[in-house]
Structure 1
């Protein structure tokens, strides 16, 4: 049986919604992990936004310690 490790995500997925004339709302919606060969990422979304945009950013130190998606 193959041993499974939980790795910290390489990127955090954020949904960003910017209402007209208002402050942008950022909601964490998932995470991405780099493939072992370094050729890509696996994206896990816990929510699928219907509007706005998705931004992928490296995790901050406290987010990297969590290891999971949103």
Structure 2
């Protein structure tokens, strides 16, 4: 038996739906991402899955946590 915690770590990235272009683009947070233990990818958790627009994954920073991109 291992001594690993069952509580997931905080996500390292946020997922955003981006509609529009340039300064008029609208960014909506739609989920989060955690790196896999083997370092070969990410696990994604979506709060919403859009049918249109772009999905962008960004590292979490204080600026993003504060609600700005």
Please tell me the TM-score bracket, short chain as reference: 0.7 to 0.9
What is the RMSD computed on CA atoms of the aligned residues? 2.3
Note the C-alpha offset of 1:61: 2.9
Higher relative contact order, structure no. (Cα contacts within 8 Å, ≥ 6 residues apart): 1
Counterpart Cα distance in 1 of 2:60 and 2:5: 25
TM superposition score normalised by structure 1:
0.73
Q: TM-score, normalised by structure 2?
A: 0.74
Structure 1 counterpart of 2:12: 10
Q: Which segments of 5 or more consecutive residues in structure 1 lack a partner in the other structure?
A: 64-70
Unaligned runs of 5+ in 2: none
